[in-house]
Amino acid sequence: FNPKTARSTGVMFSSLPPGHSGRYLEGDVKDASAAAVLTSGAIAVWDLLLGHCTALLPPGPEGNWALTRWATSSSCLLAGQRDGTVCLYRYRQPQPGAA
């Protein structure tokens, strides 16, 4: 439900990646991809059409991830830490049949 527009839509069930427990802290959706910071400090990326996690960005030695957003004009994922560090990652959807 979007409180600004009063519109809602159905959401596909997405589970945490294997080996992770906890919950989602915050995230963002762009087209058919969703990204979220997990309580483990990692960032998970889901393909919403396939309904499963396609990428996992573990926390770095500098600390856990705190924020993630999709760039508005490209397929880049911005990942931020509490100290103000922001990293930019180019994300490409996995190709069907790729290992």
- For residue 18 the two structure tokens come to 């294997």
- The gap between the terminal CA atoms of the chain, to the nearest Å, is 36
For the chain, the domains span 24-90
CB-based contact 81:64 (threshold 8 Å): yes
Q: What is the pLDDT of residues 77-96, one digit of tens each?
A: 999 999 999 999 998 776 66
Nearest alpha-carbon partner for 58 in 47, 48, 44, 76: 44
Q: What is the pLDDT of residues 5-40, one digit of tens each?
A: 777 666 556 677 788 777 888 999 998 889 999 999
